[in-house]
């Protein structure tokens, strides 16, 4: 009896997984564009902040 229940359970699990994979298509990971622009803007902002901190100290 236990063997039969295990087979039925495994069969039901396989059916649910196949239904689930059919409903949700796989999402492909795309490469992020604009990474260089983000880094450039971050560096410019960091430079402006540092200048704003250190210029009043020296002048």
Query: From CA 23, how far away is CA 13, in angstroms rounded?
Result: 15
- Average pLDDT over the chain, rounded to whole? 83
Query: From CA 40, how far away is CA 47, in angstroms rounded?
Result: 11
pLDDT in tens, 16-39: 777 666 666 677 777 777 889 999
Boundaries of every domain in the chain: 35-59
Instruction: Identify the DSSP state of 27.
Output: P
- What pLDDT is recorded for position 43? 98
Chain centroid offset of residue 26 CA: 14
**Is 5 a residue whose pLDDT tops 80?**
no
- Token pair recorded at residue 9: 């359970």
Cα(first)–Cα(last) distance of the chain, in Å? 88
């Amino acid at each position: 009896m236990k063997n039969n229940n295990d087979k039925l359970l495994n069969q039901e699990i396989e059916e649910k997984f196949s239904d689930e994979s059919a409903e949700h298509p796989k999402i492909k990971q795309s490469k992020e564009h604009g990474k260089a622009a983000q880094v450039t803007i971050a560096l410019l902002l960091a430079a402006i902040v540092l200048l704003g901190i250190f210029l009043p100290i020296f002048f």
